């Protein structure tokens, strides 16, 4: 009986130490922000940041909330949604770095902060370390496997990326962040030179999440490399409707340091074949 009581108390202590915040109000705001984040829309990202900042006013040490602000800012920047100011980007990166310190034992804080640092600071090796720690803490986190897949790809390890992203899909086949799974697989297959597979994953991603413009980019580049120039030009026309000022020079400047040289070269050549203007 005494042993059972001791075991029960030990599990209660473990749960308490894993609790991300003592404040139920902060936790409620975080859950509402998560729902907005999962909408994966311009308005959703903005609303999530507002709610997360309210949570951080209540509990400034709330690592998952800090990490998610960084990730939202990274996605806003990467997708051109309400482009954040330099101050907002710097704040997001600072909060992501803070989350790494405060959330060393929280797998959600670690993968989100790692992902944010990869996008905002292009520090893929730092991100990889955080995400690997998240997976040691929770090997069944589909989102951590997703983040690992992206960061492996951005370090030009496409086969490790494919393995990680396939694992993510196995763990959560109907995930609210599924566009990052299929979009990541599209990019990883592109990096591996498997243009047909890249095209198919990009199609799947675009069908499910038509707002996910990286899928459109990968699709048109893949088609260009496959010699399907009409399809590539069609994709480029749709992309230019969204980003009418897009040029090869502008794309190179914006993506500098994000993609490894090998992926940048494949993307640039595909854009050129599709007819994207140089300047």
Indicate the DSSP class of residue 247: -
Q: List, for residues 178-191, the tens digit of each pLDDT value.
A: 999 999 999 999 99
Q: List, for residues 84-122, the tens digit of each pLDDT value.
A: 899 999 999 999 999 999 999 999 999 999 999 999 999
- Fold adopted by 156-279: 1.25.40
Question: Is 137:102 a contact under the CB 8 Å cutoff?
Answer: no
Q: List, for residues 39-70, the tens digit of each pLDDT value.
A: 888 899 999 999 999 999 999 999 999 999 99
Q: List, for residues 206-229, the tens digit of each pLDDT value.
A: 998 888 889 999 999 999 999 999
Secondary structure (3-state) at 269: helix
0.85 surpassed by pTM: yes
Mean of the pLDDT values across residues 151-156?
97
Asked if the model's pLDDT at residue 7 lies above 50, the reply is no
Q: Which two tokens stand for residue 247?
A: 């040029």
Domain 1-139 identical in fold to domain 156-279: yes
Q: Which two tokens stand for residue 189?
A: 């297959």
Where b means 16+ CB within 10 Å and e means fewer, 19-52 reads ebbeeeebbebbebbbebbeebeeebbbbbbebb
Domain parsing of the chain, residue ranges? 1-139, 156-279
pLDDT at residue number 19:
56
Question: Is 16:9 a contact under the CB 8 Å cutoff?
Answer: no
Where b means 16+ CB within 10 Å and e means fewer, 97-136 reads bbbbebbeebbbbbbbbbbbbbbbbebbebbbbbbbbbbe
Asked if the model's pLDDT at residue 16 lies above 50, the reply is no
The CATH number of domain 1-139, selected from 2.60.40.1180, 1.25.40.10, 3.40.1550.10, 3.60.21.10? 1.25.40.10
Helices marked H in the chain: 2-18, 24-37, 42-58, 63-79, 86-102, 107-121, 124-137, 142-154, 158-171, 178-191, 195-208, 213-225, 229-242, 248-255, 261-274
Q: CA-CA distance, 106 to 266, in Å (whole number)?
A: 36
pLDDT at residue number 92:
97
pLDDT at residue number 78:
81
Binning pLDDT at 50, 70 and 90, where does residue 255 land?
A: confident
φ/ψ bin of 237: left (φ > 0), alpha (ψ from -120 to 50), beta (otherwise): alpha
pLDDT at residue number 20:
64
């Amino acid at each position: 009986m005494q042993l059972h009581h001791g075991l029960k108390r030990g599990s209660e202590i473990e749960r308490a130490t894993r609790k991300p915040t003592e404040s139920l109000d902060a936790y409620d705001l975080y859950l509402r922000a998560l729902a907005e984040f999962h909408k994966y829309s311009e308005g959703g990202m903005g609303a999530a940041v507002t709610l997360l900042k309210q949570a951080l006013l209540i509990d400034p040490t709330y690592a998952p909330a800090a990490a998610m602000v960084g990730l939202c800012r990274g996605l806003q920047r990467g997708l051109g949604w309400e482009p954040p100011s330099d101050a907002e980007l710097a704040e997001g990166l600072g909060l992501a770095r803070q989350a790494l310190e405060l959330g060393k034992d929280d797998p959600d804080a670690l993968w989100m902060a790692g992902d944010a640092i990869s996008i905002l600071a292009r520090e893929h090796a730092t991100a990889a370390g955080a995400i690997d720690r998240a997976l040691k803490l929770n090997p069944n986190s589909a989102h951590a496997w997703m983040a690992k897949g992206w960061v492996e790809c951005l370090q030009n390890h496409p086969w490790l990326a494919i393995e990680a992203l396939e694992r993510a899909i196995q763990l959560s086949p109907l995930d609210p962040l599924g566009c990052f799974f299929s979009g990541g697989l599209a990019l990883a297959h592109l990096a591996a030179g498997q243009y047909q597979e890249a095209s198919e994953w990009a199609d799947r991603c675009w069908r499910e999440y038509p707002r996910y413009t990286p899928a459109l980019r990968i699709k048109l580049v893949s088609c260009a490399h496959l010699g399907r120039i009409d399809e590539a030009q069609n994709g480029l026309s749709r992309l230019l409707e969204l980003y009418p000022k897009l040029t090869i020079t502008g794309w190179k400047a914006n993506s500098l340091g994000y993609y490894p040289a090998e992926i940048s070269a494949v993307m640039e050549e595909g854009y050129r074949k599709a007819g994207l203007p140089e300047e």
